[in-house]
Homo-oligomer: A and B are copies of this chain.
Amino acid sequence: MNGFNDGPSEQVMRRPASPSDPAESESGLPAQAWTLLFELLHTHMRNFPALAAEFDLSPVQAHVLRQLGEGALAMSTLANYLSCDASNVTGLVDRLEARGLVERKSSEQDRRVKMLVLTEAGAELRGRLMARLSAPPPLIAAMPDEDLAALRDIMRRALKTQ
């Protein structure tokens, strides 16, 4: 449970951008664009635990549910995705299984492997989580339509050629 800390109180609210900000300097174009995106990213990252907590999930659990969307996944593949040790996944899945959100199924082809699948309850929770996650943050929602369309097209191109 990583709830918001009861309000801003007297928090100073400093500007997020640093003085040595590549986006304002003479650096290369990639650095300029990236630094700006980076702000958005970190703002979003800060909210992620609280957002996951809305569903009684830890950040990692939310991540797992997200990845587990489309079909079965071997535990080792999941470990790879999370960039963490395989032994870590064991306990992680133990807890999710105890809550009835996922199931281990032994693979037929390779009896060492255990495939993870969402239970019905897990799929339902994932649906609500994803709906909440894909709600655009204020910064995006406030953009004019041309900017949104341009942004979408740029990202589509980038993800496609990657």
Cβ contacts A122-151/B at 8 Å (1 or 0 each): 000000001001111111111101011111
From residue A152, how far is it (CB to closest CB) to chain B in Å?
Answer: 4
CA distance A39 to B18 in the complex (A): 25
**Number of chain A residues close to chain B: CB under 8 A:** 76
Q: How far is the CA of A143 from the CA of B159 in the complex (A)?
A: 10
Q: How many copies does the complex hold?
A: 2
Q: A12-B77, A140-B34 are in contact. Are A156 and B23 (CB under 8 A)?
A: yes
Q: Is A79 an interface residue (CB 8 A)?
A: yes
A residues at B contact (CB < 8 Å): 2-5, 8-9, 11-12, 14, 16-20, 22-23, 29-42, 44-50, 66, 69-70, 76-77, 79-85, 130, 133-143, 145, 147-152, 154-159, 161-162
Beyond the given pairs A30-B143, A35-B134, 9 more chain A to chain B contacts, judged by CB atoms under 8 angstroms and listed by A's residue number, are A2-B84, A4-B83, A30-B136, A33-B136, A33-B143, A34-B134, A37-B140, A46-B82, A150-B154
